[in-house]
């Protein structure tokens, strides 16, 4: 029987995390590095990437690139291969909401097609393109040890439950989950596993004003969310990182095509 430390060990593995300058992406990158992986930090904001890379030392590499630009992604892939010669894991954490694709100040009937296209491009295309670029290397390179490689997509509980306001974002993340299952089947013969995590409510730059007021107290929306969350709190970024580490490790070697909720029980609760 393999020891627990070996099962979850990522020593010698090379991972690329898109959206690494964000709260969840950064926490995932730090978690993978702590588990022993060398991590390519990919995002558009170079200053944040450099700060994160410096904090992780020799185990990290800053990769300035837009997930919607194939040429930039290919240059980032070439940099990773030049430094480390392989890619074992890809975490697609880039994404987010687009204010113009939400309902609130405008009705559903007033939403523009351009805004919906933008949020779908950011979340769905922003997952497809990195998977094509980095996944091509993962699917064609041989691993003499027989270990599988792993792609982890970041979805959202909004993909499975109807949440007010975020119509475009929820639809885009639902597409990511369908893609996850499709890729799991497509890439299984190449020893590449594909799974997703679906975070619940975590405080970040984009949603802080919706969940907390200027004093730090809960807004009405924040109160409703916690009332529907059995754990009675928002999630912590490292709690997403732990699940991603598992999905990238040999402990999950027979796990593919699943979406793991990380939501404090929100998706399980009927509200009664």
Q: Which residues are tagged catalytic?
A: 169
The answer to whether the beta carbons of residues 63 and 76 sit under 8 Å apart is yes
Nearest to 199 by CA among 61, 121, 93: 93
Whether the CA torsion 156, 157, 162, 166 is positive or negative: it is negative
Nearest to 92 by CA among 63, 60, 59, 126: 126
């Amino acid at each position: 029987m393999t020891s627990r430390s070996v099962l979850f060990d990522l020593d010698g593995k090379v991972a690329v995390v898109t959206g690494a300058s964000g709260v969840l992406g950064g926490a995932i990158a730090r978690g993978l590095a702590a588990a022993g992986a060398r991590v390519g930090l990919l995002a558009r904001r170079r200053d944040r990437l450099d700060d994160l890379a410096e904090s992780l030392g020799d185990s990290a590499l800053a990769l300035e690139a837009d997930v919607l630009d194939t040429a930039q992604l290919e240059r980032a892939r070439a940099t990773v291969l030049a430094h480390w010669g392989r890619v074992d894991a890809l975490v697609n954490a880039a994404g987010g909401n687009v204010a113009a694709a939400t309902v609130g100040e405008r009705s559903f009937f007033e939403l523009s097609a351009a805004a919906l296209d933008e949020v779908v491009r950011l979340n769905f295309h922003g997952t497809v393109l990195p998977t094509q670029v980095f996944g091509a290397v993962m699917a064609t390179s041989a691993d003499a040890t027989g270990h599988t490689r792993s792609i982890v997509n970041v979805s959202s509980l909004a993909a499975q439950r109807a949440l007010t306001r975020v119509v475009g974002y929820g639809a885009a993340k639902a597409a990511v989950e369908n893609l996850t299952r499709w890729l799991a089947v497509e890439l299984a013969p190449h020893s590449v596993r594909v799974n997703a995590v679906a975070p619940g409510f975590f405080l970040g730059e984009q949603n802080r004003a919706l969940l907390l007021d200027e004093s730090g107290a809960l807004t009405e929306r924040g109160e409703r969310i916690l009332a529907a969350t059995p754990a009675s709190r928002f999630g912590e970024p490292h709690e997403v990182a732990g699940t991603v580490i598992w999905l990238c490790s040999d402990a999950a070697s027979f796990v593919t095509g699943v979406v793991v909720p990380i939501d404090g029980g929100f998706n399980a609760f009927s509200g009664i």
